[in-house]
Each structure stands twice: as structure tokens, then as C-alpha cells.
Chains A and B, each alone.
Chain A
Amino acid sequence: MLNVIQHHKQQEWRILASTPATPIWFVLLAATCYSWWLGVGHYHSTHLLTITVMSIAFGKAALIGYFFMELREAPPILRTIFTVWVMVIWTATLSVYLFY
């Protein structure tokens, strides 16, 4: 009996985990840790650092939108608005940083 329940629980977990969101979560954690490790201990402007952490951030934002918010399966208009938003804010912040 207990075995059956155990088996059932495992199956439920398998159903839940069998989504791209699961590997994406690991990617997001790794990206966060990488930015964290990169970003600590700087007190002066470093363009390379900033461009890297900001690009990682907007990559992460896109992944959250596509996979967690399920926009990758949404009607194209929603996906397009979201993608354009990520591109615009990424370009705008970095352009201000580099050229303003």
C-alpha cells in the first residue's frame, strides 16, 4: 500500500517536473550565481562587467517570460510585446550607460 502511494507520488512529481521550466530554473540559478560572483568587490566603472551582468539579467528576464509566464505558448502578439519590451529596456539602459 505504502509502495503504491510512494509510486504515485513519484509519478506526480515526474509530471510536474517534465517541463522546460525545470532545466530553465537551474540555468537561472547558475546565471544569478555567476552575476553575483562577478559583481562583488568593484568600486569603479567597468564596462565589461556592466554589459555582462545587464545582458545576463535581460536574458534571465526573457527566460522567465517565455518559460515561467508561459509566453512561449501564448498568442504571438503577447510574445512579441514581451520580446520588444525586453529588447527596448536592454538597449535603452545599455545605451544610456555607454553613450549618454
Chain B
Amino acid sequence: MLVAEKNKATALDRLLFGAGGGHVPGEWGIWVFIFGDMTWYCLMCVTYMTDRVKHIAEFNRAAGTLHHDIAAVNMLLLLTSSLAVAYAVRAVRHGIRGRLVSALMAVAVTCGLAFVVNKAYEYQSMWHAGYTPIGGQAFYMWYYILTWVHLTHLIGGIFVLRFMYYVSKRSPLEPGDIRSMECCASFWHAVDLLWVILFPLLYLVR
């Protein structure tokens, strides 16, 4: 009985925590950056929610005018691009090089660029419909600022991916290079993760 329970715990543990090798993705320093960034996002989201409570009707009405479909498609794009990046890191770890890695990176960058194009269309369409950040409606101020800040992260992230691609081409690939690639990948996943939270927060919450 006890043994069975213990085995069960290890299985769950393995699922949640892996083999527990204690490998730092990238390096310690990148996590200072990523967690610092995420702390700020936490503050931003909570402030947004407090502001929302003050004008619930306005926020609900205004959130209905957003383009949910574009946002959801963008979410799918970012998830796919994250997976491609994760695969690319896996590939170089297993010594797989060449066109496969390039193709994965190309998929990741293309998804990122598609996100930017979608967002540009969304901004243009919102702006055209008269929903501007300085029109005096708090929701649109939040919408533009939160998405804009995320978009700047994402555009920065595309350059990071470009750098990652450049590193993946190095030959021979040294452990330091794999570490740099892990740093880049972690940043890109963080961009993905922030959109995971922003998408329902802005578009779906009522």
C-alpha cells in the first residue's frame, strides 16, 4: 500500500517536475529578466482589473467592440511558434542541425510576423472605427497600452529569434551557444505566456 502510494507520487512528480535534473533553462540571469518582466505584468493586470471594476458597463460594452477572432488566431499563431522554438532547441541538443532547424526557426519567425500583421490590421480597423486611446474611454486606453507594450516585446522577440537562428547556424555549436539559444527561446515563450493572459483579460472577461 505504502509502496504503491509512493510510486504514484513519483509518477505524478515525474509528470509535473520531470526527472528533476535541475537544469537552468538558459542561464540564471535571464530569469532575473523574465521574472522581473512578469512581475510588472502582474501589476499591470491587477491595476487594469481595479480600473475595470470602476467602469464595468463601459468596459463590457467596449470589450465587445474588439476583434476577438484576430486575437484568438494570434494566440494560436504564438502557441505554434512557441512549439517550433521548443523543437529547435531540442533539435540542437540532440545534435540535429541543418535545414530542419532552419525550417523550425522560419516557422517561428513567420508566425511572429503574422501576429504583427494581424495586430496592425486590428489597430487600423479599431482606429478607423473611432476607438482611439485618447478618446476619454479608459478601456481603449488600456487596450492600446497593454497590447502595444506586448507588441513591442514581440517585435523585440522577432529580433531575438533572428539572433537565435544566427546562433543555430554556428559550427561547431558550443555549449555556450546552446545556452544562448535557450535564453532566446525562454524570452519568446515569455512573450507567448503574456499574450495567454492578455487575450482573455482584454477580450473575454465580462
A interface vs B, CB < 8 Å?
A: 9, 12, 15-17, 19-22, 25, 28-29, 32-33, 35-36, 38-40, 42-46, 49-50, 53-54, 56-58, 60-61, 64-66, 68-76, 78-79, 81-82, 85, 88-89, 92-93, 96-97, 100
Asked whether A68 lies within 8 Å of B192 as measured between CB atoms, the reply is yes
Say what secondary structure dominates the interface of chain B: helix
B45 within 8 A of A: yes
Residues of B whose CB lies within 8 Å of any CB of A are: 15-25, 31, 35, 38-39, 41-42, 45-46, 49-50, 52-53, 56, 60-61, 64, 68-69, 72, 75-76, 79-80, 82-83, 86-87, 90-91, 94, 96, 100, 182, 185-186, 189-190, 192-193, 196-197, 199-201, 203-206
For B22, the chain A residues whose CB sits under 8 A away are 73-76
Contact across chains for A43 and B203 when beta carbons are under 8 A apart: no
Give the shortest distance, in Å, between A13 (CB) and chain B (any CB): 8
Q: When the two chains form their complex, are residues A64 and B87 in contact, meaning their CB atoms are under 8 A apart?
A: no
A-B contact count (CB 8 A): 161
Residues in A with CB closer than 8 Å to B20 are 73
A70 near B193 with CB under 8 A, answer: no
**What 12 new A-B contacts, CB under 8 Å, besides A40-B68, A70-B25, A73-B18?**
A32-B79, A32-B199, A33-B76, A42-B206, A43-B206, A54-B201, A56-B200, A64-B193, A65-B189, A69-B185, A85-B39, A92-B49
**Chain A residues in 8 Å Cβ range of B186:** 69
Is the CB–CB distance between B24 and A74 below 8 Å? Answer: yes
A39 x B203 contact (CB < 8 A): yes
Q: In the complex where A89-B42, A92-B42, A93-B49 touch, is A61 in contact with B196 (Cβ < 8 A)?
A: yes
Give the Cβ gap from A23 to chain B, nearest Cβ, in Å: 11
